[in-house]
Amino acid sequence: MSRGGTTSAPRTAGVNGTASRKTSGARLWFVIHGWLALPIWAFLFFVCLTGSIATVSQEIMWLASPMERANAPTNDARLLGYDEILAAVEREVPGARVRFISRPVKSIFALGVQVTRPDGSSAKLFVNPYTGVVQGEQGTFDFRDFTRALHGWLLMPFDSSFPIGWYFVSALSVPLLGSLITGIVVYKRFWRAYLQPRLRIGKGKRIFWGDLHRLAGVWSIPFIAIMAVTASWFLIQAILSDNHISISTAGVPPVVARTDVPVVAEGAPAPRITLGQAAEIVHAQLPDLEPSFVELPDSAYGQISVGGRGNYPLIFETVEVNPYNGKVERARRVSDRSALELVTGSMRPLHTGDFAGVWLKLIYLLFGLTLTTLVFSGMMVWTRRTAIETVKIVRDRRHVRLGLEATE
């Protein structure tokens, strides 16, 4: 009887020791998993923060640079037509060849005019839309381009394919969408946070960061869904493009027929319609289209391209006009696109919010910062929990080592 008692105690101790070692091993792997996940949290935070800045990068440039502002000389000043703008640029920058004229969605911004100088250099001019004065110029890569490149593909260069940075950033759509779905499942009756938001400040850091994470998450649900879905398309777009798969129904770009190109003496200019006439032709055929950009031909066989937004503000509609006879060679409208093109073509403007003015951009900025706060608070909760588990493991292993030394 006593022998049974003496033999059963070591067996129990052995089982408990094995279980303790298994528990300790599981906790160790949990801690390793936590610290390895920290770079992903930091990367997601970086992408969300740079995306928020990129959303209002043009507005930041407007605040910092007076040359980008459209200041009217009088309250009743009218906007100049495309022909007047072209004449003003040619007068102020002699010899420069205008390639592209763009009217921003927001009327507070100056026109953007892309030009090529006789020496082959390119520049973007900022032209006052009321006076035609060239208020300044800059290179083709500005702060707006920098922030978008930093956010979208980590400034990695494009070559024959999409950069690896594009894949890294767009791949975050997978955990972002997964966190949205699992968060809704885990957070029971999440809609209560809309009616009774709770943020406990005086009850410790863990409770504060947990409340902030849940509150930011609930209020960001629609925005997170938009960002996750649109970023998923960016990932699919890169995969399709790099594998030379196209879903476009645009077909081959039209060119001017050889018979339409007039024969003129060497050095003499060919007779062409003006940009104002081209805009009038487009307006007559498509009354609901508000032209926001004009692209001039780059060769004798090129078309005048006039584009803008119609009744569906997420997609640009374009019209190709023959520069010699004013004939509309092709009009590509929303109705000319397939259902798949309508969906995929809406992804980028939905992602950036750049299609309905300043107020929408500010709303996107607000939700972008909320999403950034959500990621940061989640990172703080995760890091704090991992740090606590790390301290526990170190303390337990120290106790075990001291216990072994004591038994020896």
pLDDT at site 384: 77
Nearest to 127 by CA among 153, 104, 151: 104
Q: How far is CA 283 from CA 173, 355, 356, in A?
A: 40, 20, 21
Residue 217 has pLDDT above 70, yes or no: yes
Structure tokens at 293: 């950009």
Nearest to 298 by CA among 101, 87, 98: 98
Could you give the dihedral angle defined by the CA atoms of residues 289, 294, 300 and 301, in that order, rounded to the nearest 10 degrees? -40
Residue 20 has pLDDT above 70, yes or no: no
Helices (H), 99-251: 143-153, 164-170, 173-186, 192-195, 205-219, 221-242
Could you give the dihedral angle defined by the CA atoms of residues 246, 250, 255 and 260, in that order, rounded to the nearest 10 degrees? 160
209-238 average pLDDT score: 91
Q: What is the pLDDT of residues 342-365, one digit of tens each?
A: 999 999 999 999 888 889 999 999
Contact by Cβ (8 Å): 238, 162: yes
Q: Share the mean pLDDT of the chain.
A: 85
pLDDT at site 30: 59
pLDDT at site 3: 45
Contact by Cβ (8 Å): 341, 355: no
Largest CA distance in the chain: 123
Q: What is the pLDDT of residues 229-263, one digit of tens each?
A: 999 999 999 999 999 999 999 888 889 998 888 88
Range with lowest mean pLDDT among 9-18, 160-169, 288-297, 300-309? 9-18
Rounded Cα distance between 186 and 191, Å, is 13
Q: Which residues pair with 105 in a beta bridge?
A: none
Contact by Cβ (8 Å): 392, 384: no
Nearest to 184 by CA among 229, 142, 221, 209: 221
Question: 189 falls in which pLDDT band (50, 70, 90)?
Answer: confident
Question: 210 falls in which pLDDT band (50, 70, 90)?
Answer: confident
Residue 18 has pLDDT above 60, yes or no: no
pLDDT at site 252: 87
Q: Which domains are delineated in the chain?
A: 26-249+354-408 (no CATH), 253-336 (3.10.450)
Contact by Cβ (8 Å): 123, 115: yes
Contact by Cβ (8 Å): 323, 272: yes
Contact by Cβ (8 Å): 96, 116: yes
Contact by Cβ (8 Å): 95, 89: no
Q: What is the pLDDT of residues 92-102, one digit of tens each?
A: 999 899 999 99
Rounded Cα distance between 298 and 97, Å, is 10
Rounded Cα distance between 266 and 219, Å, is 66
SS3 label, residue 309: strand
Predicted TM-score (pTM) of the model is 0.80
Rounded Cα distance between 289 and 318, Å, is 9
Structure tokens at 317: 């509609």
Contact by Cβ (8 Å): 60, 143: yes
Q: How far is CA 85 from CA 4, 273, 372, 394, in A?
A: 103, 15, 41, 72
Q: What is the pLDDT of residues 56-115, one digit of tens each?
A: 999 999 999 999 999 888 888 888 999 999 999 999 999 899 999 998 877 789 999 999
Rounded Cα distance between 368 and 366, Å, is 5
SS3 label, residue 199: coil
Burial class (CB within 10 angstroms; exposed 0-12, middle 13-18, buried 19+) of 308: buried
